Every structure is written in structure tokens, then in C-alpha cells.
Amino acid sequence: MHVPAGLREVWSGPLVDGDVALLLVNRGESIAIINATFTLHGPHCPKDVNVSVYDVWGQRVFGECASHFAMRVAPHDGILLRCSCARPATRPARKGKDRGDHAFVTQ
């Protein structure tokens, strides 16, 4: 899936284990907030779970969300994320954290 939005792009695709890969790209000259909404499918990931968002290139966990979030992406930069089932959503998802050039914001 490709969602063109001018200078901001979101690319996504399924992974073999039911996880989702997301690539957020900022082609602009200034920092951009890029929103992403997604759904995980499969028997291992029912509807009532939070999703863990992992920065593939940075090798770090950003946090958890329900099915949508926003990230601050530096100019001429991109971030590759792996979204996986985390746990039952009986508690609220964790709030976003600032990780250098990228800020993860749950919505």
C-alpha cells in the first residue's frame, strides 16, 4: 500500500508472521508529522490487542498503540517500523516518547 501525500509518504506491507512493515518518508525541507493507521490480521492478533511499534533501523521499541499513531520525521529522512501484536488492550497504550529525531505519538 502506498499513500502519497505530497512530500510525506506512507508505505506498508504484510510480513510473513502477520506483522506489518511501515515505511514513513519525509521528502520535505522541514520536520513533518506523519500519521499512520493500520490493521494487523491473523489468528495470533485479535482485535482487542495493542500493537508494539519497533524501529527497525534504530533497533528500539517506540511504544504501543491501538491502531494509529503519528511520528515526527526529520527532513529528507525515513523510518522503517515493524508493528506486532503486543498484549490484550485491558490497559491504555503507553504514551509516546521522544527518541532523538523521531517522536512517537499515540493517538
Q: What is the pLDDT of residues 42-97, one digit of tens each?
A: 666 767 778 888 999 999 988 888 777 889 999 999 999 998 887 654 444 444 44
- Residue 48 exposure: Cα atoms within 13 Å on the Cβ side: 4
Q: What is the CATH number of the domain that holds 18?
A: 2.60.40.1180
Q: What is the pLDDT of residues 95-104, one digit of tens each?
A: 444 444 455 5
For 81, the domain range is 2-106
Of residues 20 and 2, more confidence is placed in 20
Q: Look at the chain and report how many structural domains it folds into.
A: 1
Instruction: Give the model's pLDDT for residue 69.
Output: 84
pTM of whole model > 0.85? Answer: no
Q: Which H or E run includes 33?
A: strand 32-37
Instruction: Give the model's pLDDT for residue 81.
Output: 93
